[in-house]
Structure 1
């Protein structure tokens, strides 16, 4: 009796395979694991913080407590680039290789969003110091925000400074820069201070993509606040100030759909509301990519 039953069950299984072979093959197929995504740039690729053409800069309206000159705690610090270098050229402020020359002199940092402020914090100066590592001198070093720190804040931080190796080493005791840089994420104190570029006037670097109908300019080396809240342009033969739009980083643009009449005067409003006018800042025969030094700076 058992043998006929076994034959009957075998026949039923064969019938099911013939009727629905595809379903059986799916059940027997082995699932393949997805390949991991590689976020590392291809060999030779350059990483740029510059937004894509036409992209609007993100404005972060987080209010930063600058402490009215008092030292603040709760900030973290790391460094990037060469141990005694200037971090990197380029960056999310647009200063490019200027970060490694006077007056920045590699004493720069990429700031977290509350410091970077969607680019409007570019150029702001801070004093930083540390006491949490045996290599810390406890003496302040002055740095400038020239980039945006990637990755946000570490746990427990209210702000983060991703410094150049040079700037990180400046907080160390003499001869102990390497030990401090090897300390990982440091807890530091910081405070906002006026920028002081002795003998240096404000510079205006015209973007390579600028043309008579589209003016885009990098503004750098502002004394005092160091960063700007507004920029206006006055054309030749006009008495009207036209507001420029914050493009990205320390870049400001004007694109009103018509040919602009140079030379241009520029009116700058600093973070604290101080106004400065640079007459004939951009000459009549201006060229994309050129830098024009003004005759003024904030007192």
Structure 2
């Protein structure tokens, strides 16, 4: 290779390295810009108290949060944007195993020889105590909550009020209490309560997170017919691995249901 060609090759390599370095600088700057307005919404863990009267079976009593407001029937300020930018077009969706909850509580009513029954309808739950002095109790089923935006804590340090399905939390508290009374042990297999939240940043990038909501107790105190529970609510974020496992479990469940419905073993031809 002649000296001229060698010099040209070195110059080309140097130019390529410079171009790559420039691209890296541009990419880093772009990343920094995105991080500068990226939102991140989290939910504050909560301690609470819950009261249940053993005669009235007033399951739908709202839990009293110790770290957040209790002024609204179905909202509380538990959401906070710890990111650097505002979250736009926020959608919060709650999901709950209502049927499992109703079936479990009715089974405990039967074991405890209570005439009370809880029923599930499209938009509500109803408790029938069969006592004219107590009457019926109602609770709505909650679904989605919408917010145009949630500012970052730098812009607004106050937490944001969001819709909370308090009846679902109360139902799980009641299952913990009734299981202890009916079976002498705590039922930890509670109906699953989940939360999914989606939002965008000011650049249009979309984000979605999911949480399993854990309802547990510190202690249960009996005071005559009144039962007091001190408990906690924890938001456990579901990662990619957990989502994959849940997806596989769903596929296995649907496959098993398909096998049972068609009864392939019985209908197969030999």
Q: Which interval holds the TM-score relative to the shorter structure?
A: under 0.3
- Tell me the TM-score normalized by structure 1: 0.20
Q: Which has the higher contact order (CA 8 A, sep 6+)?
A: 2
User: If the length of structure 2 is used for normalisation, what is the TM-score?
Assistant: 0.21
* Greater strand share, structure number: 2
